[in-house]
A and B are shown apart, each in its own frame.
Chain A
Amino acid sequence: MARAKSRDEEGVSGSSVSPRLTMPGPAFRPGDRPDFSEVDTFAPGACRRPQVNEPAESMSELATGLVRVLDDEGRASGPWDPHLDAPTLRAGLRAMMLTREFDRQMMIDQRQSKASFYMQCTGEEAIACAFHSALRPGDMNFPTYRQQGLLVAAGYPLELMMSQVYSNETDPLRGRQMPVFYSAREYGFFSISGNLATQFVQGVGWAMACALRGESSIAASWIGDGATSETDFFSALVMASTYRAPVILNVVNNQWAISTSESVARGLAPTFAARGRGFGIASLRVDGNDYLAVHGAAAWAAERARTNGGPTLIEWVTYRAAAHSSSDDPSGYRPGDEAAAWPFGDPIERLTRHLLRTGGANEADVEALREEVVRDVRAAQVEAQSHGTLKQGPAPSPREIFEDVFKEMPESLASQEREAGY
């Protein structure tokens, strides 16, 4: 979707051609009418599905294709269709709807000063929710702040997520972390760092540890399009490549990194998936707004990793429909109607259409789900708020500031705690 303003023509002066820098940017800025008709959307079935143990070189075209299963009318087709049964799909739809409702409510609570900050994943729910359903207990995710869907799909208690967001008395992280920087080892969710990309290579290390111990558990690293520019992204690729680690390297390309378009991180490469090819890593580019394609691709990569086929890099193509965070206002850098113009639609609408079309659910079922997720979020919110919100009600003790710096508190810190007198 990017426009790269090439200055090639201007660079021609007389008989010599002198170099000029290219300054990549988004296709559209505020005031432009977003038009994605040039974007190649690929038909479901356009990409072949290799055997999970095929060598990476044999599938290099998949890094520039687009794995899809659902078409615009909600029909599923092609080799990547995971053929999930209706109850599984309804559970998937529910997880996505619950994630969206959770985000909606937390955003409101943030605006009411019950939380200091919040980040939504609107439009990206299919990626985390369907990915989760392709993993096994014992696998570990190394997420970014935008994979709350992994926790929701895993059935992590919503009220605990909210308590973390509110930094209240039952916050599992005791007020130490900003909202959404969850940690939930038992749910396969590694502690989130604010420093971009650091987790991407740590996931490779976890996968290496699994293999060193001879276990069939795997790891999944997560990163955004923008953060792939960090050195840790490339460190992860090289470590995964060198040791053939059982890891899935997920790049969520939601087109934006705050105000910066994905093209700035991608540069001259055709896609983010193509980054894997130079490392000999199997690389897929997948429609991230297509629940079935996400599940199909994730299951493929997980099996490849578990059966000693090595790492897979997956670029999930999606769109960040909401602001970067509660501190951001995208109207300053992109057209307001860009999300609506995005050619891959909305993941919840697309799976709903599929379920309605195939008889996996009817209108009444979908309506019931809608009401159910609102009720669930509301109930969790009442429960969580009974334990306080950022500035009101019970809170973790300020003594928590001093705990967990070390396993045993050194005397130097103990004396600071005494001086503080909390």
Chain B
Amino acid sequence: MVQAIRDAHAVMMERDESVVVFGEDVGYFGGVFRCTQGLQQRFGENRCFDTPITESGIVGAAVGMAAYGLRPCVEIQFADYMYPAYDQIVSEAARLRYRSAGDFTAPLTIRMPVGGGIFGGQTHSQSPEALFTHVAGLTTVMPSNPYDAKGLLISAIEDDDPVIFLEPKRLYNGPFDGRHDTGLMPWSRHELSDVPEGYYHVPLGSAAIRRPGSDVTVIAYGTMVHVALAAVHDTGVDAEVIDLRTLIPLDLTTIIDSVSKTGRCIVVHEATLTSGFGAELTALVQQHAFYHLAAPIERVTGYDTPYPHSHEWSYFPGPERIAKALIRVMQA
């Protein structure tokens, strides 16, 4: 997936001179996760450069550049470090078009790795998507595979408004299904690792059905798509697994069509439970598919605590927890 993200950058930098890429350790070194490797060598220091360690500076400057007419695509080294930039994201980037009645806009992309599973403790594991989806004016994206990562990042950079692009770091090097004690599977053995060369895009706001099924709908995104598929496989339940890909704008049609068919629904995310994006999904499903529901909607999520270090696998909402929820809703 790292390669796919690099590719998306390169494709867009090639096509559009106004695309500039910057962040901490992003230039010479190519990023601590190597997602921008080679870009500085290829496009020069004026197109891809290292910044001081100032997330507010990175995003604040990106807003200014974007307002001018560039298309910055910036990296926050870990989502856990976006808080100094939060004011620039929420009060500025998200509302610039609105408050100036379109006089100024902020077409920028802010990439950041999210999620746990690397023993990163509370400051390298967070999934703060709900802090973005709650904000009017932000598009929030989270791919689950290399094909989508490239296509969605291209769409994000082309989008004329700010896009938050969340990269599940546990997926950088393989399709992680939550079974942490088995060996790492490389992307090369996964069907969605086939990434076409050159330009293509995956539209923002469109979900994908990863597994068609008739008995229960599982809504997930990012890493949890793979974990949900593993749980479905383990239980043998005929579940339909939806990969949202974009959280805002939300592909409600795909969700409601599915739940109307299955009559059951589970929402899965790694982020904490309370006021998480799952709460929004649950509310929408009950509003739009209430009369189809045969069981209460369940949420399987991280607990309402900081992400622990050594007990991260006791915290991570793995396949067993999802499997239990699947069985519960099927028995309801």
The interface residues of chain A lying within 8 Å CB-to-CB of B52 are 226, 229, 260, 264-265, 267
Say yes or no: A390-B310 contact (C-beta < 8 A), given A229-B54, A259-B25, A412-B274: yes
Tell whether, in the assembled complex, residue A229 and residue B121 are in contact, meaning their CB atoms are under 8 Å apart.
no
Q: How far is the CA of A10 from the CA of B132 in the complex (A)?
A: 42
From the candidates A178, A232, A257, A258, name the one contacting B119 in the complex (CB within 8 A). A178
Tell whether, in the assembled complex, residue B273 and residue A416 are in contact, meaning their CB atoms are under 8 Å apart.
yes
Residues A361-389 near B (CB distance < 8 A): none
The interface residues of chain B lying within 8 Å CB-to-CB of A390 are 119, 310
Chain B residue with minimal CB distance to A194?
Answer: B123
Chain B: interface residue total (CB-CB under 8 A): 39
Smallest beta-carbon distance A18→chain B, Å: 14
The reply to whether the CB of A21 lies closer than 8 angstroms to some CB of chain B is yes
Residues A240-269 near B (CB distance < 8 A): 257-260, 264-265, 267
The interface residues of chain B lying within 8 Å CB-to-CB of A175 are 308-311
The interface residues of chain A lying within 8 Å CB-to-CB of B27 are 23
The interface residues of chain B lying within 8 Å CB-to-CB of A232 are 84
Encode B240-257 as 1/0 by CB contact (under 8 A) with A: 000000000000000000
Tell whether, in the assembled complex, residue B29 and residue A258 are in contact, meaning their CB atoms are under 8 Å apart.
yes
Chain B residue with minimal CB distance to A333?
Answer: B29
The reply to whether the CB of B303 lies closer than 8 angstroms to some CB of chain A is yes
The interface residues of chain A lying within 8 Å CB-to-CB of B28 are 25, 29, 259, 333
The interface residues of chain B lying within 8 Å CB-to-CB of A21 are 46
Chain A: interface residue total (CB-CB under 8 A): 48
Q: How far is the CA of A327 from the CA of B119 in the complex (A)?
A: 12
The interface residues of chain A lying within 8 Å CB-to-CB of B123 are 178, 193-195
Tell whether, in the assembled complex, residue B119 and residue A117 are in contact, meaning their CB atoms are under 8 Å apart.
yes
Smallest beta-carbon distance B30→chain A, Å: 9
Say yes or no: A332-B121 contact (C-beta < 8 A), given A229-B53, A231-B84, A405-B306: no
The interface residues of chain B lying within 8 Å CB-to-CB of A401 are 303, 305, 308, 311, 314-315
From the candidates A178, A196, A420, A422, name the one contacting B124 in the complex (CB within 8 A). A178
The interface residues of chain B lying within 8 Å CB-to-CB of A422 are 314
The reply to whether the CB of A319 lies closer than 8 angstroms to some CB of chain B is no
Q: Which of A121-129, A148-156, A301-309, A392-400 contacts B (4 or more CB under 8 A)?
A: A392-400
Encode A180-207 as 1/0 by CB contact (under 8 A) with B: 0100000000000111110000000000
Taking chain A's interface residues, is the majority helix, strand, or loop, or is none over half, making it mixed?
loop
The interface residues of chain B lying within 8 Å CB-to-CB of A181 are 121
The reply to whether the CB of B120 lies closer than 8 angstroms to some CB of chain A is yes
The interface residues of chain B lying within 8 Å CB-to-CB of A417 are 303
Tell whether, in the assembled complex, residue B24 and residue A260 are in contact, meaning their CB atoms are under 8 Å apart.
yes
The reply to whether the CB of B32 lies closer than 8 angstroms to some CB of chain A is yes
Encode A132-156 as 1/0 by CB contact (under 8 A) with B: 0000000000000000000000000
Tell whether, in the assembled complex, residue B50 and residue A167 are in contact, meaning their CB atoms are under 8 Å apart.
no
The interface residues of chain B lying within 8 Å CB-to-CB of A267 are 52
The interface residues of chain A lying within 8 Å CB-to-CB of B308 are 175-176, 400-401
Q: How far is the CA of A167 from the CA of B306 in the complex (A)?
A: 16
Smallest beta-carbon distance B181→chain A, Å: 10
Chain A residue with minimal CB distance to B273?
Answer: A416
The reply to whether the CB of B56 lies closer than 8 angstroms to some CB of chain A is yes
The interface residues of chain A lying within 8 Å CB-to-CB of B172 are none
The interface residues of chain B lying within 8 Å CB-to-CB of A226 are 52-53
The interface residues of chain B lying within 8 Å CB-to-CB of A72 are none
Q: How far is the CA of A34 from the CA of B41 in the complex (A)?
A: 22
Tell whether, in the assembled complex, residue B32 and residue A258 are in contact, meaning their CB atoms are under 8 Å apart.
yes
Q: How far is the CA of A9 from the CA of B49 in the complex (A)?
A: 21
Encode B275-318 as 1/0 by CB contact (under 8 A) with A: 00000000000000000000000000001111011110011000
Q: How far is the CA of A402 from the CA of B314 in the complex (A)?
A: 11
Say yes or no: A227-B53 contact (C-beta < 8 A), given A405-B304, A412-B304: yes
Chain B residue with minimal CB distance to A224?
Answer: B53
The reply to whether the CB of B199 lies closer than 8 angstroms to some CB of chain A is no
The reply to whether the CB of A271 lies closer than 8 angstroms to some CB of chain B is no
Tell whether, in the assembled complex, residue B305 and residue A116 are in contact, meaning their CB atoms are under 8 Å apart.
no
The reply to whether the CB of B81 lies closer than 8 angstroms to some CB of chain A is yes
The reply to whether the CB of A177 lies closer than 8 angstroms to some CB of chain B is yes
Tell whether, in the assembled complex, residue B305 and residue A402 are in contact, meaning their CB atoms are under 8 Å apart.
yes
Q: How far is the CA of A230 from the CA of B80 in the complex (A)?
A: 15
Chain B residue with minimal CB distance to A178?
Answer: B121
Encode B119-147 as 1/0 by CB contact (under 8 A) with A: 11111100000000000000000000000
Tell whether, in the assembled complex, residue B274 and residue A398 are in contact, meaning their CB atoms are under 8 Å apart.
no
Q: How far is the CA of A390 from the CA of B119 in the complex (A)?
A: 10
Tell whether, in the assembled complex, residue A23 and residue B53 are in contact, meaning their CB atoms are under 8 Å apart.
no
The interface residues of chain B lying within 8 Å CB-to-CB of A420 are 303, 314
Tell whether, in the assembled complex, residue A194 and residue B80 are in contact, meaning their CB atoms are under 8 Å apart.
yes
Q: How far is the CA of A398 from the CA of B56 in the complex (A)?
A: 36
10 residue pairs of the A-B complex, CB under 8 angstroms, read A116-B119, A116-B310, A175-B309, A177-B121, A195-B80, A227-B53, A260-B24, A267-B52, A400-B308, A416-B273
Closest 4 CB pairs of A and B: A194-B123, A229-B52, A167-B310, A175-B310
Given A258-B32, A396-B311, 17 more contacts at CB 8 Å? A25-B50, A29-B28, A171-B310, A194-B124, A195-B123, A197-B53, A229-B57, A230-B54, A258-B24, A259-B29, A267-B52, A327-B32, A396-B310, A398-B311, A413-B304, A416-B303, A420-B314
